[in-house]
Amino acid sequence: GQNIDQPTEMTATEGAIVQINCTYQTSGFNGLFWYQQHAGEAPTFLSYNVLDGLEEKGRFSSFLSRSKGYSYLLLKELQMKDSASYLCAVRDSNYQLIWGAGTKLIIKP
């Protein structure tokens, strides 16, 4: 079967750095996406990785290791508005997205 694993919940302090991990087992791999979802809202795109390595976009970075079936999202200089759920999704051999259940990130002052 296909499986995406992420921690259910994480807590971090404003101004700090947090790393959200995602491991996956899917039938094929055609890219990995990270989305942000604030409570009661739609998911919005954050990042995309298809090759191994780090992709940096402002305060957010995403890393991929295809051989390990592993990715992480790194959030720097945390702000209160970063409190949200972060969703990891892998595009499988059928080019459909398989989604993790999401990691709820709580930011404390």
Partner 1 sequence: IAGITQAPTSQILAAGRRMTLRCTQDMRHNAMYWYRQDLGLGLRLIHYSNTAGTTGKGEVPDGYSVSRANTDDFPLTLASAVPSQTSVYFCASSELAGDYNEQFFGPGTRLTVL
Interface residue list for partner 1 (CB under 8 A): 4, 30-31, 33, 41-45, 48, 50, 87, 89, 95-102
Nearer to partner 1, 73 or 89 (CB): 89
Alpha-carbon radius of gyration of the chain: 13
CB of 102 to partner 1, least distance (A): 7
Nearer to partner 1, 38 or 108 (CB): 38
CB of 27 to partner 1, least distance (A): 12
CB of 47 to partner 1, least distance (A): 9
* Burial class, 107, CB count within 10 angstroms (exposed 0-12 / middle 13-18 / buried 19+): buried
Structure tokens given for 80:
């209160």
Of 51, 59, 50, nearest to 19 by C-alpha is 59
